[in-house]
Amino acid sequence: MKALVFHGPGQRNWETVPDPSLQDPTDAIVRIDTSTICGTDLHILKGDVPEVEPGRILGHEAVGTVVETGEAVTTLEPGDRVLVSCITSCGRCRFCKEARYGLCTGGGGWIFGHLIDGLQAEYARVPFADTSVHKLPSELTDEQVIFLADILPTSYEVGVLAGRVEPGDTVAIVGAGPIGLAAVMTARLMTPGRIVVIDLADSRLAKAREFGADVTINNGHLDPVGEVMELTGGLGADVAIEAVGVPETFELCADLIRPGGRVANVGVHGHPATLHLERLWIRDVTITTGLVDTFTTPKLLRLIADGRLDPTPFATHRFELDEMTEAYDTFSDAATTNALKVVLSGHPVHLPAGEEVVGAVA
Ligand SMILES: NC(=O)c1ccc[n+]([C@@H]2O[C@H](COP(=O)([O-])OP(=O)(O)OC[C@H]3O[C@@H](n4cnc5c(N)ncnc54)[C@H](O)[C@@H]3O)[C@@H](O)[C@H]2O)c1
Ligand SMILES: [Zn+2]
Ligand SMILES: [Zn+2]
């Protein structure tokens, strides 16, 4: 099969590799029908995630069709259409029993395109298949559900729920990439009073307004703290969601927050940030961090099925799976291409004998 292989920092190639096969009885083999690229894949290519070894197939977000199941898999069969999300769950460890799948100690957690081969490929081996994939209703298209594989549950769980967004709140979101915009989309489920989005790029701020931001601030030109203080009678935001991952933006969130407010950090940080406890200690500020668990994926899927949530505007560019190289070039040059998420469609050309196409993308 073909797959996107990481060959060390700066080096990736769409190339022929051996087909995956069942290794454990709890595995399934899934044919990838739709895949996408994440900002985290770009971090890996920069060399920021040293656990990813050369030779690794990247990707951790896909919709696919089960083609083979191990003998211990009881709830899936060939032909089932499934969401394969960034988080895998062993279903048995302490953290999985607390629905904190991101912290799984039984071999799950974020493993695709990280510790095991990932989903930017024609086929993938999916461990702990029964407890990890989500079966999809046939009436939903791949493009409606693919963003449930990472960005929507990430922003909802680590941003909106951890930050305890409540009706009427002023929510400040720093960073308007896919994660910040997914925070805008899912914060709206809580009916906040006002969503303020802060970014350095005017094109991203325009997107934020399309996604439902009420106020946008370019912090390259304006003082975001002064602006938010003016909007909130000098108090600050009720919730600040950090969706960039650099020290300045975390420190900005701590400056934007009102006494008793909540800072929810979603960004992946590579460097230490300064925590101004000397200013924060007396203000009852709560700070949360986290890796997505995906415990809200079933709920978000129901919201999509019920027409309450429409993630399709994230799809700005479409490619065939075979055009992976062009897709990476487009996604990594977002400043020029205005890409949010690229959608890669596989074509069911390598069907094993007897297999039917179930709910594949048109
Ligand atoms: N916690 C998790 O589980 C989890 C999961 C997925 C992604 N992430 C992280 O979330 C972060 C955002 O992801 P993304 O895909 O949206 O990234 P992105 O790079 O597409 O978007 C980041 C945005 O931040 C803006 N920005 C950069 N510096 C800024 C500054 N100083 N002030 C204001 N805005 C600034 C950029 O213009 C851009 O629009 C990344 O760090 C990513 O690794 C975390
Ligand atoms: Zn991701
Ligand atoms: Zn576990």
pLDDT at 357 over 60: no
- pLDDT for 354: 53
Q: What is the mean pLDDT of the chain?
A: 95
| Dist CA 64 CA 346 (whole Å) | 9
- pLDDT for 270: 84
- pLDDT-derived band at 347 (thresholds 50, 70, 90) equals confident
Tokens linked to 331: 């996604």
Residues with Cβ–ion distance below 5 A, ligand 3: 90, 93, 96, 104, 106, 108
The pTM of the full predicted model, rounded to 2 decimals, is 0.95
- pLDDT for 140: 97
Q: What is the DSSP letter of 216?
A: E
Residue 21 CA to ligand 1 center (angstroms) comes to 35
- pLDDT for 358: 46
Is residue 119 within 8 A of residue 32, CB to CB? The reply is yes
Strand bridging mode 81-84 / 62-69 = antiparallel
Each residue's pLDDT tens digit, 61-81: 999 999 999 999 999 999 999
Question: What Å distances lie between residue 252 and 223, 244, 287, 291, CA to CA?
Answer: 10, 11, 13, 21
Please calculate the CA angle 28-34-39 and round it to the nearest 5 degrees.
100
Each residue's pLDDT tens digit, 200-219: 999 999 999 999 999 999 99
Is residue 304 within 8 A of residue 148, CB to CB? The reply is yes
Each residue's pLDDT tens digit, 242-279: 999 999 999 999 999 999 999 999 999 889 999 999 99
Instruction: Specify which residues 167 forms β-bridges with.
Output: none
Residue 258 DSSP SS3: strand
Residue 323 CA to ligand 3 center (angstroms) comes to 35
Is residue 18 within 8 A of residue 43, CB to CB? The reply is no
Which residues lie with the beta carbon below 6 Å from any ligand 1 atom? 39-40, 43, 150, 154, 158, 174-180, 198-201, 204, 219, 243-246, 248-249, 266-268, 290-292
Q: Whose CA is nearest to atom 43 of ligand 1?
A: 268
